[in-house]
Chains A and B, each alone.
Chain A
Amino acid sequence: MVTGLGVVAPNAIGVPAFLHAIQNGISGIKFIPRYQELNFSCHLAGMPDFKWESLNNYLSEVTLHGLKGTNIGYGLVAAMDAWADSGMPYDTEEPRWETGCVFGNSIADTEAMKNVITRVDNKEARKLGSRVVEQAMNSGVTSYISGRLGLGNRVITNSAACATGTQAILMGYEYIKDGYAKRMVVGSAEHVDTYVYGAFDSMRVLSRKFNDHPEQASRPMSATAGGFIPGSGAGALVLEDLDFALERGAKIYAEVIGGASNSGGQRVGGTMTAANPTGVIRCINEALTESGIKPEQIDLISGHLTATNADRQEIQNWSDALQLKGDNFPLTNSLKSMIGHCLSAAGSIETVASILQIVHGFVHPNINLEDPNPEITNLAGVDSLPVKIIKKEVNIVAKANFGFGDVNSCLILSKFN
């Protein structure tokens, strides 16, 4: 059961503002002058309008003093907001033994680590102080979250590139289902710092033809899609065992009813950077089997769909997995058209969006899809790829992400009945 939501997204911070943004197709893609100065080919990013001082509301000033990791800031705010949203207080004397955390991320904030590298190279390591290691370690985000909330069950940091967020949610769901925990804080965070951005830019996978029109630059499934726009942020959910949630009178947003995570093994068309279609299809089918859902029951696919040339193959994979095409292909949208590709945070932010679509009965628009790729509309009918909001009951959402390393994760989300 999903009982709490929190989000730090490029187009909004906090659930109410985020709901408004995705209903109205508001873009969070902005021009970043620094990227132009650095001669990157893409000068745009999905950057949350995050006020560092807002962390005062979540942390003691002692903890905040010396905190520099941007991904930790994002993840902490999303997780704390989800916790508060689920109706529980932050403070506790005793560890919460029944509650754990699976929160993912890609890499510690290398921009913050630059100071560390400079000092060490200047033979000033002794001036680094006590706060670097906790922020350099990959488990920094989970450590801050679990420390603030006193979480005493499994606390795990996962990392599976762009599949990280969906995988974190799946792991948390499985721990509850298998009886290891009653409640899990799950999600993921990403801060695409300048150095990571530069490395993606060099791979020539970023959109470079819309630098003068930031809001039009992220164009999943369109004929003019020319690469993705990196995004930053975090999404978080509180998952709870049904009886445990009902006992404390928690409100229930929706339900995770199953999922799957696998790898294509970097074989048969799969590589470090491309998905093996067979792996993707197996992942989707295993998620459906696990959930007891038939393809026809899917009201909405929340795709990975980053706006690279992999979009066509992804739609092909969905079509092959579900054995549905043309007008029968489920409604499909990509939040990345508004916020860019938030890498490790993509899955959790997009899952928050999926749950809001279930709760409020709508399908958010694909912005920048006035020119759909004909190779995609050959597979999925034009009406399946909405460019305007559709108000309708949404019972079942399939949310998938596919990442470097040929890793796949698919969640099946359902209205709570």
Chain B
Amino acid sequence: MTRHEILDELKKVIAPYTTNKEMLAGIDDQTDLIRDLKINSANLVDIIIDAEAKYDIEIDYDVADKMMIVGSCIDVISEKVNEKQ
């Protein structure tokens, strides 16, 4: 799975948690989930849980703490998906 493919899927995971749909369409590695997409910090947990379900992976609490920008989300998901294969 390429980073680009993960990004496309990630947008769908994030969609229910941001009202800023225009910005969501144009996110890149540097986009900050809280600062740029105005996601409630409490909801980051829900995004991680939804991503776990989508990719059938498990993201432990310490790793999850790093998932603050889109790039680090993709790093973590890509690593976990590759571990699985």
A interface, CB within 8 angstroms of B: 60-62, 65-66, 126-127, 129-131
In the bound complex, residues from chain B placing their C-beta under 8 Å from that of A127 are: 49, 52-53
Further 17 A-B residue pairs, CB within 8 A, beyond A62-B43, A65-B16, A127-B52: A60-B19, A61-B16, A62-B16, A62-B17, A62-B18, A62-B40, A65-B17, A66-B16, A66-B46, A126-B49, A127-B49, A127-B53, A129-B46, A130-B43, A130-B45, A130-B46, A131-B46
Binding site of A, secondary structure by majority: helix, strand, loop or mixed? Answer: loop
Chain A residue nearest to B38 in the complex (CB): A62
In the bound complex, residues from chain B placing their C-beta under 8 Å from that of A126 are: 49
Can you list, as one digit per residue, whether each of B50-85 has a CB less than 8 Å from chain A (1) or not (0)?
Answer: 001100000000000000000000000000000000
Q: Number of B interface residues at 8 Å Cβ cutoff, please give it.
A: 12
> What's the Cα separation between A60 and B40 when bound, in Å?
13
Query: What 5 pairs between A and B have smallest CB-CB spacing?
Result: A65-B16, A130-B42, A129-B46, A130-B45, A129-B49
In the bound complex, residues from chain A placing their C-beta under 8 Å from that of B16 are: 61-62, 65-66
> What's the Cα separation between A400 and B41 when bound, in Å?
44
Chain B, 9-33, CB within 8 A of any chain A CB: 16-19
> What's the Cα separation between A126 and B64 when bound, in Å?
12
In the bound complex, residues from chain B placing their C-beta under 8 Å from that of A130 are: 42-43, 45-46
> What's the Cα separation between A65 and B53 when bound, in Å?
17
A128 to chain B minimum Cβ distance, whole angstroms, is: 8
In the bound complex, residues from chain B placing their C-beta under 8 Å from that of A61 are: 16, 19
B interface, CB within 8 angstroms of A: 16-19, 40, 42-43, 45-46, 49, 52-53
> What's the Cα separation between A61 and B19 when bound, in Å?
7
> What's the Cα separation between A127 and B59 when bound, in Å?
11
A132 to chain B minimum Cβ distance, whole angstroms, is: 10
Chain A residue nearest to B61 in the complex (CB): A126
B15 to chain A minimum Cβ distance, whole angstroms, is: 9
> What's the Cα separation between A62 and B20 when bound, in Å?
10
A127 to chain B minimum Cβ distance, whole angstroms, is: 6
> What's the Cα separation between A379 and B53 when bound, in Å?
65
> What's the Cα separation between A130 and B49 when bound, in Å?
10
Chain A residue nearest to B44 in the complex (CB): A130
> What's the Cα separation between A224 and B45 when bound, in Å?
55
Query: Are A62's CB and B46's CB within 8 A?
Result: no
> What's the Cα separation between A60 and B38 when bound, in Å?
13
Chain A residue nearest to B39 in the complex (CB): A62
In the bound complex, residues from chain B placing their C-beta under 8 Å from that of A60 are: 19
> What's the Cα separation between A126 and B46 when bound, in Å?
10
Q: Which of B18, B19, B40, B45 contacts A129, CB < 8 Å?
A: B45
Query: Are B42's CB and A62's CB within 8 A?
Result: no
Chain B residue nearest to A64 in the complex (CB): B16
Chain A residue nearest to B18 in the complex (CB): A62
> What's the Cα separation between A134 and B78 when bound, in Å?
32
B37 to chain A minimum Cβ distance, whole angstroms, is: 10
In the bound complex, residues from chain A placing their C-beta under 8 Å from that of B49 are: 126-127, 129
Chain B residue nearest to A60 in the complex (CB): B19
In the bound complex, residues from chain B placing their C-beta under 8 Å from that of A129 are: 45-46, 49
In the bound complex, residues from chain A placing their C-beta under 8 Å from that of B45 are: 129-130
In the bound complex, residues from chain B placing their C-beta under 8 Å from that of A62 are: 16-19, 40, 43
Chain A residue nearest to B40 in the complex (CB): A62
A133 to chain B minimum Cβ distance, whole angstroms, is: 9
B63 to chain A minimum Cβ distance, whole angstroms, is: 13
Chain B residue nearest to A127 in the complex (CB): B49
Q: Which of A65, A127, A130 gathers most chain B CB within 10 Å?
A: A130
> What's the Cα separation between A383 and B7 when bound, in Å?
73
> What's the Cα separation between A61 and B21 when bound, in Å?
11
Chain A residue nearest to B21 in the complex (CB): A61
